[in-house]
Amino acid sequence: MSNKTITIDDIEVPFEEGQTIMDAALAAEIYIPHLCHKPGLSPHGSCKLCTVDVDGRAVSACTLPAAEGQRIDNNTPALNEVRKTITQMLFIEGNHLCPSCEKSGDCTLQAMAYHLGMLDGHFPQFYPQRELDASHPTLVLDRDRCILCELCVRASREYDGKDVFAISGRNTNRQLIVNSATGRLADSDIETDDMAAHICPVGAILIKDHGYEIPIGRRTFDLHSVAESDLGEIKLSNVRHHDE
């Protein structure tokens, strides 16, 4: 056990060399809101929900290495208000119509809105019209729901070893693309069992012919908050790692 510590919201937290603030917090069962972070994949820092104050400086907890003596503010009204605004912007920038979405109850964006007390979108709705790709026999890609977290990009590259996805364009023209000769999902080598096919936190990548198998009301975030779910996943991962 390392004797190095950081302080998060007045709680002393141990960390190992090479851990980020996010790594140390999750290991100590302290929840820092996030959408683009996934243990085991390289940190990215794209969603900015995990922004914390470190010695008075705003930083991304998923990318900044933990360092001895850091004093970190995480669960504050000011930070949570900024996080709520970011979440509202993510909602209105895509077509996230929860009552009609198969991902409802399993959607991390939706669960984050509940966690942060978001009651409405606040901003005018964009209603984007991006290309939907249903060419694959078992998967569908709905870009209107993509939040550009790049989890599928990293999962395909780092875990599946396939490099199926990428992000193209700038500013409001940024979108998820498929790395195939035609740009179609059907002409890529993605398979239903790939991590990239299941890691999307919203409803941008879905498995065909398997809708509503788990009824609304019994899904992940119907039963547990996003904080409980994420911290529970870390616990389970640690148990598996210990058993190995």
How sure is the predictor about 242, in pLDDT bands with cuts at 50, 70 and 90? very low
Q: What is d(CA 128, CA 155) in angstroms, rounded to the nearest whole number?
A: 26
Residue 143 lies in a domain: yes
* Chain mean pLDDT for the chain: 92
117: containing domain? 102-223
Examine residue 89 and state whether it is found in any structural domain, yes or no.
no
* pLDDT for the residue 3: 83
Q: Please indicate, yes or no, if residue 196 is contained in any of the structural domains.
A: yes
Q: Does residue 194 lie within any of the structural domains?
A: yes
pLDDT digits (tens, 9 = 90+) for 93-136: 999 989 889 999 999 999 999 999 999 999 999 888 899 999 99
Q: What value does the mean pLDDT take over residues 174-183?
A: 96
Please, what is the Cα angle at 94 between 192 and 229, to 5 degrees? 60
**Measured between alpha carbons, how far is 197 from 53 in angstroms, rounded to an integer?**
34
Domain count, the chain: 1
Burial class (CB in 10 A: 0-12, 13-18, 19+), 84: buried
Q: How far apart are CA 38 and CA 153, in angstroms?
A: 12
Query: Phi-psi category of 210—alpha, beta or left, where left has phi over 0 and alpha has psi -120 to 50?
Result: alpha
Whether 25 is in a domain gets the answer no
The answer to whether residue 1 scores a pLDDT higher than 80 is no
Rg of the chain on CA atoms, in Å: 18
Q: pLDDT tier at 211 (50, 70, 90 boundaries)?
A: confident
Contact partners, residue 39, CB within 8 Å, separation at least 6: 23, 26, 233, 234, 237
Query: How far, rounded to the nearest angstrom, does the alpha carbon of residue 184 sit from its chain's CA centroid?
Result: 24
Q: What is the DSSP letter of 104?
A: T
Q: Does 62 map to a domain?
A: no
> Each residue of 50-90: pLDDT tens digit?
999 999 999 999 999 999 999 999 999 999 999 999 999 99
Q: Is residue 236 part of a domain?
A: no
The answer to whether residue 114 sits within a structural domain is: yes
Residue 199: give its domain's CATH number.
Answer: 3.30.70.20
Report the pLDDT value the prediction gives residue 154, as an integer from 0 to 100: 98
pLDDT band at 2 (very low <50, low <70, confident <90, very high): low
